[in-house]
Amino acid sequence: MSLDNVRLSQPAKDRLVRLKRTTGITQWNVLCRWALALSLNDPSTPLVKDITTDSNVDMTWKTFAGQHRDIYLALLKKRCADDGNEPTDENVTRTLTIHLHRGIGYLGGQKELTTVEGMVGSVAG
């Protein structure tokens, strides 16, 4: 996977399908942005390093990050540096994949994050 395309694993897709139902958020990219932000906000290193991106959910970086793609890219590069990795294209892509999937796990695994109100509440207060 390159940063040009963002692809999800089948388990991540399954969690997002459930989240789409419970939150009413219909766009993959919106839920994925929340997931990435949640994971990047956690200073710990994700435990899972190898993720098989085998689902049919595939979006361009432009679709994933939208008008704020430069900000998301800067956040990913900063996280690479914070984790002691040079922010090469390969490392940034790997960081995106790992954090995106961890964040999806957070969204699907914490009851308060399965609603829009809970998601907003997690960052607002």
Handedness of CA 65, 69, 75, 80 (dihedral sign): positive
pLDDT tens profile 111-121 = 666 666 666 66
DSSP 81-121: HHTT----HHHHHHHHHHHHHHHHHHHHH-GGGSSHHHHHH
11 falls within a domain: yes
Q: Which two tokens stand for residue 47?
A: 């435990």
* Number of folded domains that form the chain: 1
pLDDT of residue 1: 45
65 falls within a domain: yes
33 falls within a domain: yes
pLDDT of residue 114: 62
37 falls within a domain: yes
23 falls within a domain: yes
60 beta partners? 5
Q: How many of the other CB atoms lie within 10 Å of CB of 90?
A: 13
The single-letter code of the amino acid at 99 is H
Percent of the chain with pLDDT over 90: 60
63 falls within a domain: yes
- Say which CATH number the domain at 86 has: 1.10.1220.160
Percent of the chain with pLDDT over 70: 86
pLDDT tens profile 36-86 = 998 999 999 888 778 988 899 899 999 999 999 999 999 999 999 999 999
123 falls within a domain: no
Domain range for 26? 5-115
124 falls within a domain: no
